[in-house]
């Protein structure tokens, strides 16, 4: 549990000297409790108090880094059970399994293709798990090294035998792979993880993980990932929920690590569903064996949706966007700067191939009807955006006619008065735009011009 201001105050010198920039120790304690100041800003706090405060304020779940350099994966450091209480901080790694006996070139090509763009963000598979099905350390090392060279992604090395795993992990230690000995880590692997500072998988039931993580920690291993092994979705979910709860409540400190789960059994659709289910409920890494885009994209979409900060609306920059190289006789569509709305409009305009401009009005990331109801997408705001972006200057008459969404047709009259221009009312849904742009827009412009 987080320390209260009074808990912190008890550990301060209580001299009210003001050297921390705050008049009293109590006021300083309140700032520390609300994370607006760090304990170190008091130059007089004792070493014992500093240690006590440091331990108590440590994150309930450790931040674990897998891989090195730009492509590293960071998981854990979560502080809440529910996204609406704050936000989830680190997206789970989505890992595709590769057997070290497979054709690595073919597999690397398939994994590289699992890369998509959605609402302006690149989403992709960001981890590769290599399984030592050959039983040979040299083969595991060679396959993992080749995959890393081709993809640059963090690695998870998996083997039944500690000898093969230790051999490969020892040689690839600079890449900081996550190492997993199936069934749980033996002493040799724990020793290697401590010596090379590698993240280690601790496998078993919650009770087994609790004692194995404590054992590994006592041996000097700093970074760990818990894993229930190959279990069904219900058991996996139970493990994830109990481990997160134990970590957040700080009831079992050895369970204060992120969790890796396997969704690699079953047919591809089942794997995809299971993986989505784990992403939604606390997974730190999800392993799949499927590598087809149609099964991976739903998992990446789920991850993107869950790990968006719920307190920050997803929005694009409010401005005028050119699509398909418009000229001075092109349509001018008006919409809001809510990402989902903007990208829905954009994708329909792109597919229509009609050169068009899209004016994204600043509605603080809210959708058309929400923004209109909140008085952020009325005639005044649209008119201001038209003027500020010089949208009309790029068009000649009679094409200077903004097309507003059909959902806010009600503002058309007022907008005509505000902007001094005729206004067209477009379709209610973005899906109606291709037909509107190709077949209706020009007729309406010419009709209005001749009227
Ligand atoms: S510097 Fe330390 S002792 Fe002085 S007022 Fe601030 S918290 Fe209190």
CA angle 412, 413, 414 (to 5 degrees): 95
Q: What pLDDT shows up at residue 311?
A: 78
Q: Which atom of ligand 1 is nearest to the CA of 45?
A: 2
Q: How far is CA 74 from the centre of its chain?
A: 11
Q: Which atom of ligand 1 is nearest to the CA of 29?
A: 7
The domain that holds 47 is classified in CATH as: 1.10.15.40
Q: What pLDDT shows up at residue 96?
A: 97
Q: Which atom of ligand 1 is nearest to the CA of 28?
A: 7
Nearest protein CA to atom 4 of ligand 1, as residue: 17
Bond into 115 cis (ω within 30): no
Nearest protein CA to atom 2 of ligand 1, as residue: 42
26 shares a domain with 107:
no
Looking at the domain assignment, is residue 244 inside a domain?
yes
Is the pTM higher than 0.85? The answer reads no
> Could you list the mean pLDDT of each consecutive 10-residue stretch along the chain, which spans 451 residues?
80 93 92 79 88 73 92 91 87 97 97 92 95 97 97 97 96 97 95 97 96 95 96 96 89 87 93 96 96 97 91 88 95 95 95 96 95 96 95 90 96 94 94 95 77 60
Q: Tell me, in angstroms, the distance from the centre of ligand 1 to residue 266's CA.
A: 60
Residues β-bridged to residue 202? 226
CB 137 within 8 A of CB 163: yes
Number of domains, the chain: 3
108 shares a domain with 19:
no
Instruction: Please give all residues whose beta carbon lies within 6 A of any atom in ligand 1, as ranges.
Output: 12-13, 15-20, 22, 25, 28, 42, 44
In 207-295, which ranges are E strands? 224-227, 260-262, 285-288
Cite the DSSP H helix spans in 185-232.
187-196, 206-218
Looking at the domain assignment, is residue 311 inside a domain?
no
Cα atoms found within 13 Å of the Cα of residue 217, Cβ hemisphere only: 16
Q: Tell me, in angstroms, the distance from the centre of ligand 1 to residue 34's CA.
A: 17
213 shares a domain with 67:
yes
Nearest protein CA to atom 6 of ligand 1, as residue: 20
Distance, in Å, from the CA atom of 250 to the CA atom of 245, rounded to the nearest integer, reads 8
343 shares a domain with 213:
no
Q: What pLDDT shows up at residue 442?
A: 86
Closest by CA position to 335, among listed 397, 395, 382: 382
Distance, in Å, from the CA atom of 59 to the CA atom of 78, rounded to the nearest integer, reads 8
52 shares a domain with 94:
no
Closest by CA position to 100, among listed 141, 132, 137: 132
69 shares a domain with 51:
no
340 shares a domain with 226:
no
Which of 41, 56, 71 corresponds to the end of one domain? 56
Whole-angstrom Cα Rg for the chain: 28
Distance, in Å, from the CA atom of 226 to the CA atom of 205, rounded to the nearest integer, reads 9
Distance, in Å, from the CA atom of 283 to the CA atom of 410, rounded to the nearest integer, reads 46
pLDDT digits (tens, 9 = 90+) for 221-270: 999 999 999 999 999 999 999 999 999 887 777 889 999 999 988 899 99
In 198-326, which ranges are E strands? 200-203, 224-227, 260-262, 285-288, 320-323
Q: Tell me, in angstroms, the distance from the centre of ligand 1 to residue 31's CA.
A: 12
Looking at the domain assignment, is residue 145 inside a domain?
yes
Q: Tell me, in angstroms, the distance from the centre of ligand 1 to residue 23's CA.
A: 8
Nearest protein CA to atom 7 of ligand 1, as residue: 25
138 shares a domain with 226:
yes
Q: Tell me, in angstroms, the distance from the centre of ligand 1 to residue 250's CA.
A: 29
Q: Which domain holds residue 160?
A: 63-306
The domain that holds 292 is classified in CATH as: 3.20.20.20
Looking at the domain assignment, is residue 312 inside a domain?
no
379 shares a domain with 300:
no
């Amino acid at each position: 549990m987080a320390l209260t201001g009074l808990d912190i105050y008890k550990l301060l010198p209580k001299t009210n000297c003001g050297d921390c920039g705050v008049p009293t120790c109590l006021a300083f304690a309140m700032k520390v409790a609300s994370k607006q100041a760090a304990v170190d800003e008091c130059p007089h706090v004792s070493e014992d108090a500093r240690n006590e405060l440091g331990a108590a304020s440590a994150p309930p779940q450790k931040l674990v880094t897998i891989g090195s350099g730009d492509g590293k994966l960071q998981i854990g450091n979560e502080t809440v059970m529910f996204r609406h209480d704050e936000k989830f901080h680190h997206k789970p790694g989505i890992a595709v399994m590769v057997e070290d006996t497979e054709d690595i070139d073919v597999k690397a090509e398939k994994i590289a293709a699992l890369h998509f763009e959605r609402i302006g963000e690149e989403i992709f598979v960001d981890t590769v798990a290599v399984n030592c099905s050959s039983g040979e350390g040299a083969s595991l090392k060679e396959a993992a090294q080749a995959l890393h060279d081709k993809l640059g992604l963090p690695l998870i090395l998996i083997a039944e035998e500690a000898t093969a795993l230790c051999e490969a992990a020892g040689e690839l230690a600079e890449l900081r792979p996550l190492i997993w000995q199936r069934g749980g880590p033996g002493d040799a692997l724990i020793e290697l993880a401590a010596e090379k500072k590698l993240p280690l998988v601790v496998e078993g039931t919650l009770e087994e993980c609790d004692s194995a993580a404590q054992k590994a920690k006592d041996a000097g291993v700093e970074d760990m990932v818990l894993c229930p092994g190959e279990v069904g979705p219900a058991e996996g979910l139970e493990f994830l929920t109990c481990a997160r709860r134990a970590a957040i409540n700080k009831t079992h400190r050895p369970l204060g690590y992120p969790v890796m789960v396997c969704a690699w059994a079953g047919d591809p659709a089942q794997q995809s569903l299971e993986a989505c289910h784990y992403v939604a409920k606390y997974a730190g890494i999800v392993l799949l064996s499927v590598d087809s885009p149609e099964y991976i994209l739903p998992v990446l979409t789920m991850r993107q949706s869950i790990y968006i900060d719920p307190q920050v609306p997803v929005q694009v920059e409010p401005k005028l966007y050119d699509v398909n190289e418009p000229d001075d006789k092109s349509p001018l569509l008006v919409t809001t700067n809510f990402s989902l709305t903007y990208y829905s409009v954009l994708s329909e305009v792109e597919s229509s191939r009609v050169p068009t401009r899209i004016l994204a009005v600043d509605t603080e990331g809210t959708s058309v009807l929400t923004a209109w109801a909140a008085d952020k997408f009325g005639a005044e705001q649209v008119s201001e955006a038209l003027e500020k972006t010089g949208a009309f200057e790029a068009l000649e008459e009679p094409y200077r006619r903004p097309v507003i969404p059909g959902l806010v047709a009600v503002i058309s009259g007022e907008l005509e008065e505000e902007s001094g221009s005729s206004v067209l009312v477009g379709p209610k849904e973005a899906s109606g735009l291709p037909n509107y742009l190709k077949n209706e827009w020009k007729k309406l412009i010419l009709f209005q011009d001749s009227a």
